[in-house]
């Protein structure tokens, strides 16, 4: 069974809702799924997974959350993510998605195989974007 790891940081629950739907898609497509907040994630878990979904809202000034998510992403190298399918996702509010564009480029720099351009939504995810998350989860399982 394919191992899919879904890691997220979420302050007010919007990105967490996306993470849960994505995990559901992967699970219902037959993957072995681990869903965890970034505080419970390790680089070894990432190394062990066949495919990844990473979620974080836009924080600071168009950056990843700085206490937990940023250090975790900084700790990853090609060893953990190189060649693996990776979906990035997250919620934002007043920006235009710059944090996600930067994150996509950063992960490509680690040779991650990025699925699309990152799934982003302003504030609370609606049913359409949750379906997008679900389908992305299914693709990670495939
Ligand atoms: C401290 C802080 C910084 C933020 N910085 C940005 C930002 O730079 N750009 C943006 O579009 N939204 C920004 N936001 C808005 C959040 O991305 C938005 O509220 C998002 O829905 C939070 O997702 P969550 O519910 O998963 O925590 C910021 C919010 C907070 C609390």
- Residue ranges of alpha helices (H) inside 29-126 are 43-48, 69-75, 78-81, 98-109
> Which atom of ligand 1 is closest in space to residue 97's alpha carbon?
11
What per-residue confidence (pLDDT) applies to 22?
98
Q: Whose CA is nearest to atom 27 of ligand 1?
A: 11
- Cβ pair 9, 142 in contact under 8 A: no
Q: Determine whether the shortest distance from the Cβ of 1 to ligand 1 is under 6 A.
A: no
pLDDT tens digits for the chain (142 residues)?
899 999 999 999 999 999 999 999 999 999 999 999 999 999 999 999 999 999 999 999 999 999 999 999 999 999 999 999 999 999 999 999 999 999 999 999 999 999 999 999 999 999 999 999 999 999 999 9
Domain ranges for the chain: 3-141
For residue 138, the surrounding DSSP H or E stretch is helix 127-141
Segment 70-111, tens digit of pLDDT = 999 999 999 999 999 999 999 999 999 999 999 999 999 999
Pick the CATH number of 3-141 from 3.40.50.620, 3.40.50.360, 3.30.450.40, 3.30.565.10: 3.40.50.360
Q: Is 95 helix (H, G, I), strand (E, B) or coil?
A: coil
């Amino acid at each position: 069974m394919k191992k899919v790891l879904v890691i997220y940081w979420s302050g007010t629950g919007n990105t967490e809702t996306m993470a849960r739907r994505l995990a559901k898609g992967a699970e219902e497509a037959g993957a072995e799924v681990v869903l965890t907040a970034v505080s419970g994630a390790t680089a070894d878990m990432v190394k062990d997974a066949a495919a990844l979904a990473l979620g974080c809202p836009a924080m600071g000034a168009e950056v990843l959350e700085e206490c937990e998510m940023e250090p975790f992403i900084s700790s990853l190298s090609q060893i953990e993510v190189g060649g693996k399918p990776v979906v990035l996702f997250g919620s934002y509010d007043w920006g235009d998605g710059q944090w996600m564009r930067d994150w996509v480029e950063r992960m490509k720099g680690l040779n991650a195989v990025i699925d699309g351009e990152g799934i982003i939504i302003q504030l609370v995810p609606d049913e359409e974007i949750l379906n997008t998350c679900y389908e992305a989860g299914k693709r990670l399982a495939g």
